[in-house]
Amino acid sequence: MTGQERLRFIRAKIARAKKHVSELERAAHAFLRSRPYEVSGEQDPQTGEVVYRAVKVDDVPPSIAAISADALQNLRGALDHLACDLVEISGHHVERNTGFPIFASLGIYKAQASEKMRGMPRDVVEAIEAIKPYKGGNQVLWRLHSLNNVNKHRLLNIVGLASRFQSVTPSVLAYLRREWSHRYGAWPAPEAAPDDLIEYDRWHLPLKKGDVLFTLLPGVAAESTVSFTFDIAFCDAKVAERSPLLAQVGEMTEAVEGIITSFEPYFV
């Protein structure tokens, strides 16, 4: 088998992953268009606070997790195919442990990666080392590897994600300065705070019905506006970060495709 033929098989895995990603985009957008999440703000008559709660939270369809898993499996498989081909085109035999090394730490990588890369030329090993395929070195690859492993044992946990955006007018800012300036660490230099507008966001994951997403203090509610946007995301505190599902899968796809492209010269 020629090098170009080997590359075609690897690229076929990438192409299959992209088909799943396109299917995932359609399914995710359809779910979000169904208005699965709603928030209601109610004022407490005793305290004057306006409390925003999630009043509707629909479960993410299992099909979205299944499609995500298919995409991740093809991406991870493409890397392992790459590793095996790099061994064979060097004139060596693929072993039981041959694969693209991704580990939970640099220490584990140093201790075990050589088994997966046995038979590869030194410059190939160095090129893989430069990618830093371990937790803390390349978080995108680490998430891909870990989520793919999770999928071998259970359905991926994909849940609702809420993000809050708040705008504060100058008079409200003055109120906050007055109320918070005496608190240590609140505003070390209240006079240095912006004079016009504050915009910031907060993430809420996983989103559950009844969750309090935000509370506006008395005196702030009159001139402060709060809005919420919703998305879906992987929910695994040990692996995935708080970013939308499609963004993470897209990032993984780009990373794997970039790695495959970077090793193309070895297949000439």
Q: pTM of the predicted model, to two decimals?
A: 0.84
* Stronger pLDDT, 41 or 159, i.e. the higher one: 159
Dump the DSSP string for the chain.
--HHHHHHHHHHHHHHHHHHHHHHHHHHHHHHHT--EEEEEEE-TTT--EEEEEEEEPPPPHHHHHHHHHHHHHHHHHHHHHHHHHHHTTT----TT-S---BSSHHHHHHHHHHHTTTS-HHHHHHHHHH--BTTT-HHHHHHHHHHHHHTTS---EEEEEEEEEEE-HHHHHHHHHHHTTSTTT-SSGGGS-SS-EEEEEEE-S--TT-EEEEEPTTTGGGEEEEEEEEEEE--TTT--SS-HHHHHHHHHHHHHHHHHHTGGGG-
Q: What is the pLDDT of residues 216-261, one digit of tens each?
A: 777 665 555 677 889 999 998 678 777 899 999 999 999 999 999 9
pLDDT on residue 18: 98
pLDDT band at 56 (very low <50, low <70, confident <90, very high): very high
- The reported pLDDT for the residue numbered 72 is 97
Q: What is the tens place of the pLDDT at every residue in 124-179?
A: 999 999 999 999 999 999 999 999 999 988 999 999 998 876 555 566 566 656 66
Out of 29-38, 86-95, 116-125, 223-232, least confident range: 223-232
Instruction: For the chain, give every domain's residue range.
Output: 3-37+61-156+242-267, 158-234
Residue 268's pLDDT is what? 86
